[in-house]
Amino acid sequence: MNIFDVSFFAENFVALCRGIPLTLQLTLLSVTSGAVFAIVLASFRLSGNQVLDGLARGYIFVFRGTPLLVQLYIIYYGLSQFPELRKSFAWPFLREAYWCASLALCLNTAAYSAEIIRGGVIAVPLGQIEAAKAYGMGGLTLLRRIIAPQAFRLMLPAYSNELILVVKSTALASTITMMEVTGIAAKLISATYRPVEIFIAAGAIYLLLNFSITRLLRLLEYRLSRDRRPHQAATGEHA
Amino acid sequence: MTIQTCIPAVEIARLEKSYGSLKVLHDISLKAEQGEVISILGASGSGKSTLLRCVNMLEVPNAGSVSIFGEEYKLEQRVDQAARVTDRHQLQRLRSQATMVFQSFNLWSHLTILENLIEAPVHVQHRNRKVCIAEAEALLERVGIADKRNAYPSHLSGGQQQRAAIARALAMHPRIMLFDEPTSALDPELVAEVLKVMKDLAAEGRTMLVVTHEMSFARNVSSRVVFLHKGYIEEDGTPAEVFSHPRSERFRQFISKHAH
């Protein structure tokens, strides 16, 4: 037997690709719901209201300070101990590993993303907001037209990082029976006892996924930073 | 028309402003008639910028009142607590009648120059977008930067940015314009181009309140000069009066220091 069997690697690479849709589903579901929750948390943090700020601070403290694996286990193994929950409308969801994994990932990424959003918002220069106020903008118009677009651009590099972490974190779902890329890898290894090729194949898949994500985000960043590139007007004039 | 001209464009009455225990404006009363161009002079720390910012409530005075064309800002002023504006709709309406030009321009960095000009007219005043674009193009032509309509603020020189900012203020159809040291952040050779635009505006009969260090503007363009010292108005009169017969010793010193 070779140290590295290329045909075995290729064969298993294809098998692992069947886990990609689930990996992507878990990512997409947790990132979108996590972003919505993060916006709520960030607005609590920025509200100036001590109670709301305290609530969000506490939440972020707990979910950033404890391992995602522990959070996942508490949701998947722990919640079923509560009879009230088992009788509630949420149970059809919470007894499924799929929803438990999505929920844990969502709650976890929301804590990190909230701080990223808050960082973006407070990095918007005061003069930009003051000018908007002086021109009669306030409330939602100010948020939608001036603060949000500028904050979004400022937080994008940090948020790209968070997206990559979420993609990799989906691997933990394998510990609660999910057959995503890592789950399939573990199953194949227990059948073949050949971890090297299989884990390298799994790693390569995550690398490819994250490569595409970083490319997409870099494109977005490029499109949003026209003002930071030299200006070429239709006349060909350089400013 | 006769009734209108009786109403002052800006009326500040018994205004006081403090930051914590530090009082920066003491019992200021100032009336700007329509069409007046008032230069507000003073050393740094005299409270001149704060006074100007009280006119559009970027700073809320702790006591006294401010009225724009006879309409008084609704304020809640309490002892030992920050004062605040109580009527947001009124605030937004009055603010769009008295637009401000800032020392550091503060053009919105994520929008092109043209988008900067139509932003508030479209999203605050809810005017027709096409009309606003046509007007904005004419304004850019007027301040001499029509070719920069699709550029971003960071692509412009300081002088061009400030002219764009003045065009942005004009796009609101303001009845009053507030200038907060509009040339202080500019290189000396760029000051003239901005002053020329301001001079043209003054000649049109616009009401302007200008915080400035430009003695030539105060002397030759403005119709009235107000000198602030440590939060008090120390001098108030036509440029001819105050520059040739200053009553305040401090203003005399101030002039000689800025005479070059």
pLDDT at A87: 85
Provide the number of structural domains found in chain A: 1
CA distance A107 to A98: 14
Range of the domain at A65: 6-225
pLDDT at B4: 52
Candidates B109, B129, B145, B179: best to mutate against A (most CBs of A within 10 A) is B109
In a domain, A143, yes or no: yes
pLDDT at A233: 47
B65 shares contact with chain A (CB less than 8 Å) = no
CA distance B223 to B213: 16
CATH architecture type of domain B2-258 = 3-Layer(aba) Sandwich (3.40)
Q: B178 and B56 in contact (C-beta within 8 Å)?
A: yes
B34-38 mean pLDDT:
94
Query: Which tens digits make up the pLDDT trace of B81-136?
Result: 788 899 999 999 999 999 999 999 999 999 999 999 999 999 999 999 999 999 99
CA distance A185 to A201: 9
In a domain, A220, yes or no: yes
Q: What is the CA radius of gyration of chain B?
A: 18
Name the average pLDDT for chain B.
92
CA distance B66 to B57: 9
Q: What is the CA radius of gyration of chain A?
A: 22
Of the partner residues A130, A136, A150, the one whose CB lies closest to the CB of residue B92: A136
pTM: 0.87
B155 shares contact with chain A (CB less than 8 Å) = yes
Domain residue extents for chain B: 2-258
List the CATH number of the domain containing A210.
1.10.3720.10
Spatial CA neighbour of B105 closest among B96, B116, B120, B118: B116
B187-206 mean pLDDT:
90
In a domain, A239, yes or no: no
CA distance A27 to A50: 33
| Check: complex ipTM more than 0.95 | no
**A12 pLDDT above the threshold of 70:** yes
CA distance A218 to chain B (A): 18
B216-230 mean pLDDT:
93
In a domain, A1, yes or no: no
Task: Return the beta strands (E) in B79-206 as ranges.
Answer: 84-85, 98-101, 176-180
Residue A180: phi and psi, rounded to 5, are -90, -165
Query: Which tens digits make up the pLDDT trace of A54-102?
Result: 999 999 999 999 999 999 999 999 988 888 888 888 888 888 999 999 9
Residues in A touching B106 (Cβ below 8 Å): 127-128, 130-131
